[in-house]
Amino acid sequence: MTALRLAAALALAALSPLTVAAGMADGIAVEAAHVRLMPAAAPNSAAFLTVVNTAATPVRLVGARSELAQTVELHDHIRDGEIMRMRRIEGIDIAAGAQAVLAPGGKHVMLIGLKRPLVADSVAQITLIFADGSEHTINAPVTPIRPSASH
């Protein structure tokens, strides 16, 4: 009985137009997006961008995907003694009216297993995925970036 009620409630929630209208991606604006140009033989690259939350409620970025790479992960850098290392992170919280800056040496969208060599000045499509399942797709130019210590 309880399970049935729960199932019914979930079905109603899935059908509710409010679920779609209040999507986290609706209040998102992306600035300064770009993908690091890498040599043709490089297996990986990274995308950098500023995610602005223009909404009155917090949002959480939980992932991304792109046709460019087999695997796309959110990464951050942590200090390990003298060395900065990358690690995968589960998500990035952005408060109402705040922004998250993904930049070299810090948080980034990691593109793992590039399917083909990156082309300078081409445009890469990357889809950001939020905690409620809503998505925001951006077009990011591929540009050379000064290498950081750890990439």
Contacting positions for Cu ion (CB under 5 A): 75, 86, 110
Shortest distance, position 105 Cβ to Cu ion, whole Å: 11
Identity of the residue, 133 or 144, whose beta carbon is nearer to Cu ion in the bound complex: 144
d(CA 98, CA 96): 5
Nearest in space to 43 (alpha carbons), one of 142, 112, 100: 112
118: Cβ contacts below 8 Å, ≥ 6 apart:
35, 37, 38, 40, 42, 45, 68, 124, 142
Identity of the residue, 24 or 72, whose beta carbon is nearer to Cu ion in the bound complex: 72
Identity of the residue, 75 or 136, whose beta carbon is nearer to Cu ion in the bound complex: 75
Residue closest to Cu ion, measured at CB? 75
Q: Environment class of residue 57 by beta-carbon count within 10 Å: exposed (0-12), middle (13-18) or buried (19+)? A: exposed
Shortest distance, position 61 Cβ to Cu ion, whole Å: 15
Shortest distance, position 46 Cβ to Cu ion, whole Å: 6
Identity of the residue, 30 or 102, whose beta carbon is nearer to Cu ion in the bound complex: 102
Shortest distance, position 106 Cβ to Cu ion, whole Å: 10
